[in-house]
Chains A and B, each alone.
Chain A
Amino acid sequence: MVENNIKVLNDLDIQIKDLEEEIKNIKSINKKIKLDILNKLLILQQLEAAMNE
């Protein structure tokens, strides 16, 4: 294998691995924010109900 190609392949493999990990992280962060939003919507509903009373 051409030496330069080995470097490129290795580099690409590392970059892909990094990206996969970053995607995993960001997905879990987004999931957490979505849960927070759901909770806050619930709080908002409760506040509205309290105001109507």
Chain B
Amino acid sequence: METQENETKIVYSNMVELTEEMKQMPIEKLADKGMHEKSIEVLTKIGIQTLGQLLATDTDFIHEATLRVPYEARYSSIRKVIMGMGLFFNDDHLRWENAGISDEIAMIPINNLDLSPHVKTTIAKNTCITYFGDLLTTDYEVILHMRNFGEGPLVELKNYIHSLGFSLPNEEITMREIKDSFKAKGIPMVGDTLELDTRTSALLYRNGIYTIDDLVKCGLDVYEIIGMGDVKRKKLATALQAKNIQLGAPVVLPTGTPVAIRPTEENINKIREENLSISKRIDNKEKLLSEYDKLVAERNNLILREQKLDEEIAARVALLSSQQNEEGSNYGRK
């Protein structure tokens, strides 16, 4: 249906051409198509008599009019029946047109798309999206925050949508895509070069430091980025030292014009409270740091003890086997 670069993908749309005869269809007849009787009752009350009139009605108005009826008779169910018939509201047409999507493409059911069952099920479970048009007009943030929808499925969905020549509104690049692009270009990422742990690498990537060049450009300021705690700082410094890389002097940011402010009593108290909570946190951090150091020392001792035990076991095993060999040869002589 949609051509992208060198590949043509065939996807089937549910869209049906709206004929004059269909437009004149009395609203009551929609009961045969699965429309709830309460819906028909409300629609008749607000003066809608034919299918043509229904499709031309403001959907917000229908939504408000059906708010007090059972869930299965509300606007979303009415829309589902209409779309099940291969038709759509004028409002939907306008929404899709604004997004640059043709009605035919918008009316492709999600189930007809060449996506993995996991992606389709997650979309169906977490959203009301059943058609491609709705998916293409759903904000990227909504898709990103769906439950059980990690980076893998997200990249799969994005790649598929891109392969059809579309994109989600307000789309952003995921960390995996960034990593893949670096991999494709053959540029080693800073985490791999310095053999950093996942957390430290992720912190650097989140702050736009992807390669050693970025890190060197950032200089000693890297130690000041939010989230760079003492542990990560130590790890990064050790890794840099191991690779014999020295960071330059920190970049001095220009300071603004100094403004004199006379502090009020309220402000002073506020600042006192803030300083108090900061000092409490510093105390807590100090305690945790000393606990961490103790645990590291304990681990080192344990490792040493384990190594000694290994040596002792190896020595005993050797002694035992030599004893057994000796006994065997003595027995042979006798």
B306 touches which of A14, A26, A33, A51 (Cβ 8 Å)? A33
Say yes or no: is B183 at the interface (Cβ < 8 Å to chain A): no
Query: Are the CB atoms of B274 and A47 closer together than 8 Å?
Result: no
Query: Are the CB atoms of B274 and A2 closer together than 8 Å?
Result: yes
Interface flags, A1-12, vs B, CB<8A=1, else 0: 110010111111
Given the known inter-chain contacts A26-B296, A51-B316, please indicate yes or no for A37 contacting B309, CB distance below 8 A: yes
Enumerate B283-326 residues with CB–CB distance to A below 8 Å: 284-285, 288-289, 291-292, 295-296, 298-299, 302-303, 305-306, 309-310, 312-313, 316-317, 319-320, 323
A15 touches which of B229, B291, B299 (Cβ 8 Å)? B229
Given the known inter-chain contacts A15-B230, A18-B232, A22-B292, please indicate yes or no for A44 contacting B319, CB distance below 8 A: no
Query: Are the CB atoms of A10 and B226 closer together than 8 Å?
Result: yes
Q: How far is the CB of A26 from chain B (nearest CB, A)?
A: 5
Task: Tell me the bound Cα distance from A16 to B231 in angstroms.
Answer: 10
Q: Contact residue range for chain A? A: 20 to 34
Task: Tell me the bound Cα distance from A12 to B229 in angstroms.
Answer: 8
Q: How far is the CB of A21 from chain B (nearest CB, A)?
A: 8
A2 proximity list for chain B (CB < 8 A): 271, 274
Say yes or no: is B176 at the interface (Cβ < 8 Å to chain A): no
Say yes or no: is B238 at the interface (Cβ < 8 Å to chain A): no
Query: Are the CB atoms of B226 and A14 closer together than 8 Å?
Result: yes
Task: Tell me the bound Cα distance from A41 to B270 in angstroms.
Answer: 59
Say yes or no: is B44 at the interface (Cβ < 8 Å to chain A): no
